[in-house]
A and B are shown apart, each in its own frame.
Chain A
Amino acid sequence: MYHYDDYDRALVQERVAQFRDQVARRISGELTEEEFLPLRLQNGLYLQKHAYMLRVAIPYGTLSSNQLRCLARIAREHDRGYGHFTTRQNIQFNWIELAEVPDILQQLAEVEMHAIQTSGNCVRNITTEAFAGVAADELLDPRPLAEILRQWSTINPEFLFLPRKFKIALCAAEEDRAAIQMHDIGLYLYRDDAGEMRLRVLVGGGLGRTPILGQQIRDGLHWRHLLSYVEAILRVYNRHGRRDNKYKARIKILVKALGIEAFAREVEAEWQHLKDGPAELTEAEYQRVAASFDAPAYARLDDADLDFGSALARDPEFARWCARNLQPHKVPGYAAVVLSTKPGPDMPPGDVTAAQMEAVADWAERFGFGEIRIAHEQNLVLPDVPKADLHGLWRLACEQGLATANIGLLTDIIACPGGDYCALANAKSIPIAQAIQARFQDPQALQDLGELSLNISGCMNACGHHHIGNIGILGVDKGGSEWYQITLGGAQGMHSELGKVIGPSFSADEVPDVIEKVVDTYRDYREAEERFVDTVRRIGLEPFKERVYARAEVPA
């Protein structure tokens, strides 16, 4: 993984000092809350319902064991013993004292971490998929360009006060696990016939109040032009994006208003001034950054490991976990392991205790190369585990409650913190997730349902990405009480789709029944091995609506 050099260290240290001074000026009253707001947001600090919430950046979801231990220490010493991993691969602490924030940032700086630009109307944490560098279907490693983009977008003076937040994701595998169509800029990296790295650039995607999938603005962009092209997009957006209405300020609204062709012409005209200038990336810089991401010292292993094979044969629980929670690795004899943070009703999705973080940090060293990834589904990933060690790891993970065999299944719910924590939420998310998890506890039945994503957001801001869940649940406020709207057919990946609303919303109590009816309908209609989302695509919403809303039509 990337290691700071003197510049990176100096920047983060100076930033801690700068923010320490800003916090002191806020506490003394020299800065009003209004003046402090954008400053604290640019440092990932929110004022939530009960306390301050600090969002720490995990660039492209990559952590070292030491960094994870530092997060565990912060959870213990400054929070209530846990942290919450988010869909942007960051971690949030929910119970933070303002006066302690500078010290927390200092602790983070010591392990090469920060909270810069995890919020605010600026370029946010750059994301890639959690399996970057190890996925068997990877075309290229997206991490060097992600790191180059991270640096370029960090405290870039012209783009710190954009009309609205700005999210960039990068993907370079056959399957898109970084949800690039849901980003302000989505970058797809590949090699052309001559072996040169090229970029397909998507723009104007995003969820929230107006969900829109990103559209292609350019293909075949040479990687050397990455920064100048992104700069051109950002300058057009900064100058022409709407600022009169917060809900219409994202770049997707500008792209939609102009149309992709007209928007592309604007960007192209701007880019002509920049493309051969000093922002053009150099081979030397690429190699310098890429050296950080060189493959670790993998052992030469057989792809078929005897111990692993026999463990699979004698331990069906382990075999079920392996079938769900492993991702094929590009190096023979290794697997990437997903540790589920969704054990069921006892723990909100994405929440991880300090003890669990410490255990995972140890496993990463013992069974891998000291590296951990955060998936945008809010799970933890150990990217490099020899197959021979999987059984041992699984037993330890069972003890820590991190071995639920539900990756990609209905109970692997993506959920935002919702009304329990978030000041913006209209409704709770966690109890809904828990009620659904409680209803679907039978592992056999879950397994039988197969691949099915269920995403919950507590408000229109869609932090739980409900639009792209096969089943989406959106908390809505009606006359001061909490209701839940259901969407079906959403999907992420290469065939991304936005879910469609099935009809009037439900009370919290009704939600598990509704989900059960939806799932039963799928069972009735599915053909052979058909996935849930494919059945929805084939038969449409009608059969689901009929089942879910049937009661109203039955005479008393």
Chain B
Amino acid sequence: MNNLIKLLDGQARLVDDPWSLVREAQGALPEGPLILPLALWRERDGADGLLLQPDDEVEALGPLLSGVPLIAVEFPSFRDGRGYSQAYLLRTRLGWRGELRAVGDVLRDQLSHMRQCGFDAFAVREDKSAEDALKGLAGLSVLYGRSVIEPRPLFRRR
């Protein structure tokens, strides 16, 4: 089942996913493009995507990021909000412009917050309908504070 939503030119679409997510290196790695956890990713230099765990310090990645094709941020539980701050830092402080994908416990009612924090791809949890999750992406029309996609707080936009 394909459960990946991507924002393409501002439009949310269900898309095919060529990437294989590897959370732990056990046995042989799958064929095709891979998203690998930090330690494994460091061991191989190549065109692998990077999977960040909530404890990973994103600032330390700095220069390593050029050339990375994709970054996935793990939400071990949808209630663990560290991924939001990681996304904020990746986008605003480290200048990451490539695909930023939320993976793990990714659910409809959190998608708009993730989008505000700079995610542009959402691997919806597999037992949920991604079609349905698209409805959660819009969120609310008013944001008082600021976010990655709207860095000006409302008081500067009135």
Give me the interface of A with B, judged by CB distance under 8 Å. 7-8, 10-11, 14-15, 18, 22, 35, 38-39, 121, 148, 151-163, 227, 235, 238-239, 243, 273, 277-279, 281-282, 284-285, 288
Find the residue from B114, B116, B146, B147 having the highest chain A CB count within 10 A.
B146
Whether B144 is near chain A, meaning CB under 8 Å from some CB there, is yes
Which B residues are in CB contact (< 8 Å) with A157? 84, 112-114, 116-117, 143, 145, 147
Which A residues are in CB contact (< 8 Å) with B142? 7-8, 10-11, 14
Would you list 17 pairs from A and B whose C-beta atoms are within 8 A, ordered by A residue?
Answer: A35-B109, A121-B79, A148-B155, A152-B153, A155-B140, A155-B144, A157-B84, A157-B113, A158-B113, A158-B147, A159-B81, A160-B84, A161-B110, A277-B151, A278-B152, A279-B145, A284-B155
Q: Nearest chain A CB to B128's CB is how many angstroms away?
A: 9
Which B residues are in CB contact (< 8 Å) with A10? 141-142
Whether B93 is near chain A, meaning CB under 8 Å from some CB there, is yes
Which B residues are in CB contact (< 8 Å) with A151? 144-145, 154
Which A residues are in CB contact (< 8 Å) with B154? 7, 151
**Distance in angstroms between the alpha carbons of A239 and B15 in the assembled complex:** 31
Q: Nearest chain A CB to B36's CB is how many angstroms away?
A: 22
Q: Nearest chain B CB to A29's CB is how many angstroms away?
A: 13
**Distance in angstroms between the alpha carbons of A155 and B78 in the assembled complex:** 16
Q: Nearest chain B CB to A20's CB is how many angstroms away?
A: 13
Interface range on chain B (Cβ under 8 Å from partner):
20 to 34
Which B residues are in CB contact (< 8 Å) with A162? 81
Q: Which of B80, B140, B144 contacts A14 (CB 8 A)?
A: B140
Q: Nearest chain B CB to A273's CB is how many angstroms away?
A: 6
Please determine whether B153 and A279 come into contact, CB atoms closer than 8 angstroms: yes
> Which 7 interchain pairs have the tightest Cβ spacing?
A161-B81, A157-B116, A285-B155, A11-B142, A157-B113, A151-B144, A156-B145
**Distance in angstroms between the alpha carbons of A87 and B155 in the assembled complex:** 31
Please determine whether B85 and A239 come into contact, CB atoms closer than 8 angstroms: yes
Please determine whether A278 and B81 come into contact, CB atoms closer than 8 angstroms: no
**Distance in angstroms between the alpha carbons of A155 and B79 in the assembled complex:** 15
> Nearest CB to that of A163 among chain B residues?
B81
Q: Nearest chain B CB to A243's CB is how many angstroms away?
A: 6
Please determine whether B146 and A278 come into contact, CB atoms closer than 8 angstroms: yes
**Distance in angstroms between the alpha carbons of A11 and B145 in the assembled complex:** 13
Q: Nearest chain A CB to B54's CB is how many angstroms away?
A: 8
Which B residues between 81 and 134 are near A, CB-CB below 8 angstroms?
81-82, 84-86, 88, 93, 107, 109-110, 112-114, 116-117
Which B residues are in CB contact (< 8 Å) with A235? 85, 88
Which B residues are in CB contact (< 8 Å) with A155? 140, 143-144
Q: Nearest chain A CB to B62's CB is how many angstroms away?
A: 14
**Distance in angstroms between the alpha carbons of A396 and B129 in the assembled complex:** 59
**Distance in angstroms between the alpha carbons of A156 and B143 in the assembled complex:** 7
Whether B156 is near chain A, meaning CB under 8 Å from some CB there, is yes
Please determine whether B113 and A281 come into contact, CB atoms closer than 8 angstroms: no
Which A residues are in CB contact (< 8 Å) with B85? 158, 235, 238-239
Beyond contacts A277-B151, A278-B153: 20 other A-B pairs, Cβ-Cβ < 8 A, are A7-B158, A10-B141, A14-B142, A35-B109, A38-B78, A148-B155, A155-B144, A156-B144, A157-B113, A157-B147, A158-B117, A158-B147, A160-B113, A161-B79, A161-B80, A227-B153, A239-B82, A273-B93, A278-B146, A279-B145
